[in-house]
Structure 1
Amino acid sequence: MHFMSQHNADSSPGGLHYFSAGWKLIRLPGIRRFVIMPLLVNIILMGGAFIWLFQRLGHWIPELMEMVPGWLQWLSYLLWPLLVLSIILVFSYFFSTIANWIAAPFCGLLAEQLEGRLTGNPLPDSGWSGLVKDLPRILKREWQKLAYYLPRALGLLVLYFLPGFGQTVAPVLWFLFSAWMMAIQYCDYPFDNHKVSFRQMRSAMGQNKTMSMQFGALVSLFTMIPLLNLVIMPVAVCGATAMWVDRYRSELRLTSPSRAL
């Protein structure tokens, strides 16, 4: 395929490369129809959620600023944007997680179809019938991601209540954590279409941490931008699938291309 040969010419494409590729891949003939369902889920849920959020921000920010100790008031000009950024980060990841739960079967199908297109080797049991059969496994995988996410997110949330330190350091840590989780969320679809465990996937991504963090950071940023965040889900799935095809598929030397059980 043309896409693969272009990437192989580049010895070490990074996260930006694959994120950019996602915007092109969603427009491929034959792939566009698999983009529709993830796109609709994201538009309905994220669109409504962000309309509500921006209506509430004007009430929440003054209340949160009152929690800042007096000796830090002189930093209010810096803390205010950090608080806004933190709220949007937490909010965007929370609702994108819900959207991904709902759209997970369709995202897996999109990754499956795109991989077949890029490699020229369609996966067995691909298509809508395979989607219905694998629904319980797909939802179990989403639970695994949630179990990995929650304790770490709660730990970061506790930091927000530490005066001074929480308001300055926690937003940065949260952004880095969100970048990692976004990379995991979307790379998981092509990994999960093969017999790659959640633990093995994290290990493989950890060996390419810079690329994963670059990709996840871009997804996180675009998730916070109104209008663009409505289309980011299928873009991220396609970019992560391209990453899987180029960087992980051959490395893992999979013995079976079938879906995980």
Structure 2
Amino acid sequence: MRDLASGFGYLMKGQRWVARQGRWWGFGMIPALITLVGYAAALVALFFWTDDVIAWATPFADDWSSPWLGVFRGALSILFAAICLFLAIITFTAVTLLVGQPFYESLSEAVDRSEGGAVPESGLSTWAEVWIGVREAIALLIRVALWGVLFFALGFVPGVGQTVIPVLAFCVTAFFLTEELTSIALLRRGVLLKERRRMLRSRRLLSLGFGLPLSLLFLLPLVAVFLMPGAVAGATLLVRDLTGEDEDEPEAPRGETAAGAFNGADGADDT
């Protein structure tokens, strides 16, 4: 439980950090706002087609009598909307980080600098870092799509699909959000996707404590825009905990270096 509270604490510290640094907070909202406009249009269009999608996916229920047809498809419509929000929350962060890559990297460096000591650098060019970010975002999208299909299928299970599955979806969302937001600070430390997952899984409660409040708050689109700069700052502070940089004897990350992976056989990550 201590790690759970610590994760939430890093999120709050990140928000306080950008609140004291108005310039970082203001500019940090621009990439999130650009991404939000595109996502809002896509979600509005998708929700208008929800009934058609559910009817197409459940042709076996066409002959059901009332009220069972309405109840069944209504429950699936709610679940479908929840899955779409699950996908949107996770991919929104990934796309926003790609759009604002140079800025968020500078923000993360500023947080490290304010904590004292050396500021880690990946040794890669901006374009190399963007390419790694795109590649990892694609890997993330594949995993998110698989989880989304699984949750949608489990939604057909009576009782469980309307109770346990939404809770599980929020926990998975929380972990993905933490994984994405820590990517900038960990990439500068030479830690790529596969090793990043291992590090976060070793501190699951810390990851959930940071990501769960965000997964709930990001349900409100404008809130996501306002919180994104502080989320990146908080994730940098969380990374310093993961790598032991805030301890008396810092522990170096054990992952493959970003430069080595980029210069090697394209450093492909597992999905």
TM-score normalised over the length of structure 2 = 0.73
Q: Distance in 2 between matches of 1:228 and 1:141?
A: 28
111, 127, 149: which one aligns with 2:140:
149
Measure the CA separation in 1 of the matches of 2:120 and 2:243.
Answer: 19
1:217 to 186, 201, 212: 212
3-state SS of the aligned residue for 1:218? helix
What's the CA shift string for 1:193-249, capped at 9, x where partnerless? Answer: 223333332212111111102322222222220310112221210111121223433
CA distance in 1, matches of 2:142, 2:203: 24
Q: CA deviation at 1:27?
A: 1.6
For residue 121 of structure 1, the aligned residue among 113, 117, 123 is: 117
* Contact in 1 for aligned 2:87/2:148 (Cα 8 Å): no
Task: Count the aligned residue pairs.
Answer: 240
Instruction: In structure 2, give the amino acid aligned to 1:210.
Output: L
User: 1:1-261 to 2 correspondence within 5 Å?
Assistant: 12=3, 13-29=5-21, 32-50=22-40, 52-53=41-42, 55-56=44-45, 58-66=47-55, 67-68=57-58, 69=61, 70=64, 73-75=70-72, 78-117=75-114, 119-123=115-119, 134-159=125-150, 160=152, 164-165=156-157, 168=162, 172-250=167-245, 253-254=251-252, 260-261=258-259
Decide whether aligned partners of structure 1 residues 154 and 121 sit closer, same or farther in structure 2, where only a CA change above 3 A counts. Answer: same
> After superposition, what is the alpha-carbon deviation per residue over 1:13-45, rounded to whole angstroms, capped at 9, x for unaligned?
43222222222111224xx33344431111122
Instruction: For structure 1, list consecutive stretches of 5 or more residues without a partner in the other structure.
Output: 1-10
AA paired with 1:206?
R
Distance apart, 1:183 and its partner CA? 0.6
Tell me the TM-score normalised to structure 1 length.
Answer: 0.75
- Select between 228-237 and 197-206 the one with higher mean Cα deviation: 197-206
Following the alignment from structure 1 to structure 2, what is the Cα–Cα distance between the partners of residues 125 and 145?
19
Q: Which residue of 2 aligns with 1:5?
A: none
Distance 1:44 1:105 in 2: 15
| Structure 2 contact 14–233 (Cα < 8 Å) conserved | yes
Instruction: Check the 8 A contact 2:190/2:258 in 1, yes or no.
Output: yes
- CA 245–134 in structure 1, closer or farther in 2 if over 3 Å, else same: same
| Gapped regions of structure 2 (runs ≥ 5) | 260-271
What's the secondary structure of 2:49's corresponding residue?
helix
Equivalents in 2 of 1:54, 1:195: separation in Å? 36
Q: Deviations over 1:139-184 (max 9, x none)?
A: 1331342243233223234333678249657655543332221111
CA distance, structure 2, for counterparts of residue 148 and residue 213 of structure 1: 21
CA spacing shift, 1:144–1:217, aligned 2, 3 Å: farther
Question: Identity rate of aligned residues, in percent?
Answer: 21
**CA distance in structure 2 between the aligned counterparts of 1:76 and 1:179, rounded to whole angstroms:** 28
What displacement does 1:58 show? 4.8
Aligned equivalents of 1:21 and 1:138: distance in 2? 26
The code of the aligned residue for 1:46 comes to L
Q: Which residue matches 2:269?
A: none
Letter paired with 2:100: A
